[in-house]
Chain A
Amino acid sequence: MPTKSKLPTSEGKVLIELKNVDKWYGGFHALKDINLSVRKGEKIVLCGPSGSGKSTLIRCINHLEKIRGGTVTVDGRVMGETAKSVEGVRRDIGMVFQSFNLFPHLRIIDNCSLALRRVKKMPRDEAEKAARKYLDRVHILEQAEKYPAQLSGGQQQRVAIARALCMEPKAMLFDEPTSALDPEMVKEVLDTMIELARDGMTMICVTHEMGFARQVADRVLFMADGEILEEATPQEFFSNPKHERAQAFLGDILGHQ
C-alpha cells in the first residue's frame, strides 16, 4: 500500500486543543506543559517509551484524568469547567482501551446500545438499530446476541470500536488497542481502524504499530518523560528522527519487529 505523504495542513477547524497542560500524580509530574492541536479529520499517532505519559495525555482529553494546569478544549468547549462540559465532551469523543473493557454481563448488542439509551435517551428499538449498523460496519454483526466472553480478543476490540462509534463521536481516542491481542488478531483490529481513518474520522492513537502509523497518520508525536519531544510526518519521523530519544526508541521497537 502506498504510504501517505500528507503534511499537516492548515485547513479544517481545530477540534481538540491542549494548551499548556500540566498533570501531576501526587508529586510526580506526568505531563509537562503539553501543547497540541488536532484538526477535524486529522490522524495523530502518539508513541514513546513506557511511562512517558501517552495514556495520561489522551485520558486528559476526555477528563478521565484531571489536569492541574492549562486547558483542554474540545470543539469549542473548555473541558472541566462544569460537569456539563465533561459529559458533553465525553459524548463527543469515543475511546478504545487496551483491555477492551466490554461490559461482561451485557450482550454485544446491549454493550453498544446502552449509552444510546441512557445518554441520548433513545428508545430501545432505535438504539439497537443504530448498534447493528455499527456492528455491521466493524464486520461483526453476526455476534450481536453473544456475550463478550464468547468472543475472541480481536472481535471484542472491534465491538469496543463499534460501541464508541454508536455515539457518533467527533473524534476517537485509541490507547494501545492492539497490544493486548494475540498477534494473529492484530490485523483485523488495525484494518478496522484504517477503514475508520479512510472515512475521515479524527483519531488520536497511542500505538507502536509503525505500519499503521505510516499508513494513516498525518503526524507522529513522540513523547518521553511527560513531554512531546518530536512532531513530524511519519516519513520524516521514521526515516530521520531528530531527537536522540526518538532514535533510541525507534531502534528498540524496529529491532523487535
Chain B
Amino acid sequence: MLDFSVVVNRWQDLVYGVGSTLALSCAGIVLALCIGLLGAALQRSSRLIFLVPVRIFVEVIRNTPFLVQIFFLFFALPFIGVRMDPTMTAVIALAINGGAYSIEIIRGGVESIPRGQIEAGAALGLSQFQILGDIVMVPALRAIYPALTSQFILLTLTSSVCSSISANELTHYAQRIESETFRSFEVYFTITGLYLVISWLMMTTLSMLGRRLFSYPNQ
C-alpha cells in the first residue's frame, strides 16, 4: 500500500531541499546572466583575442552533456589542484552551462537593436561600454526575455542533475529519504510535485520581474 507518512515525517528535509534547489538555481541564474552579458559584450568586439575564446566556450558547453561537465569540474579539476565542495561545484557548473546558452540568446537580443540607437549614443559621446550598458541592454533583454526565462527555468530543473555529485539540492535529499525508507513511489511522486511548484514559483517571479523592468511602452 502507498504510505505517504514517511514523506510527511521528513517534511523538514523536503523543505530544506526545496530551499536549497531555489538557492542553487538563483545563484546559478545570476552568474549565468553575468556570463551571458559579458560574453555577448565581448562578442561585439572585432578583436579575435576576445571573439575566439567566447566562441570556443559556447561551442564546447553547448555540445557536451551537462552531466559530463559537472563530473569534469568535480572529479577532473582536483588533479590540477582545483578542489571545490559539491554545492560550490554545482553552482559553477550551472552558471557555466546556463551562461553559454545565455550568451547566444542575449546576442540575438543585442542584434535586434536598431543601429540608429547605437549611433545616437555614439554621437552623444558615450563609450562603447556605456552604449551597451545604458542603451542596448534593457531593450535587448526585453526582446529576448521569454527565451531567457525558459532557459533559466530549464537551468533550475537541470539542477537536479547535481545530485550526482551529492550537491545540496532537492533530488539529493529525495535520494537520501528513498534509500532510508525504500518508498520510491511516494518520494519521487512528492518531489515531482515539488519541482512543479518550484518551476511555477520561478516563472511567476521572473515574469513579475520582467514586467517591472520592462514596463516602458512600445514604439
Contact = CB atoms under 8 A, between A and B. Distances in A.
User: Are A and B genuine complex partners?
Assistant: yes
Contacts of B214: 105
B217 interface: yes
A104 B139 contact: yes
Contacts of B135: 103
Interface string B132-170: 001100110010000000000000000000000000000
B123 interface: yes
A91 B125 contact: yes
Contacts of B218: 104, 149
Contacts, number: 69
Query: B125, B135, B138, B139: which has the most chain A beta carbons within 10 Å?
Result: B125
B51 interface: no
Given A104-B139, A104-B216, A149-B217, A115 B126 contact: yes
Interface stretch (B53-61, B112-120, B180-188): B112-120
A62 interface: yes
A74 B47 CA distance: 29
The contact size tier of chain B is 20 to 34
A147 interface: yes
A193 interface: no
A150 B219 CA distance: 8
Contact of A97 (B119, B125, B130): B119
Given A97-B116, A119-B125, A105 B139 contact: yes
Interface in B90-128: 114, 116-117, 119-127
A95 interface: yes
Contacts of B123: 62, 64, 90, 93-95, 164
Contacts of B217: 147, 149-150
Contacts of B134: 103, 114, 118
A64 B122 contact: yes
A152 B157 CA distance: 46
Interface of B: 114, 116-117, 119-127, 130, 134-135, 138-139, 142, 214, 216-219
For the complex of A and B, list the 8 residue pairs with the smallest distance between their C-beta atoms, beginning with the closest.
A101-B120, A115-B124, A95-B123, A91-B125, A90-B125, A149-B217, A101-B116, A105-B138
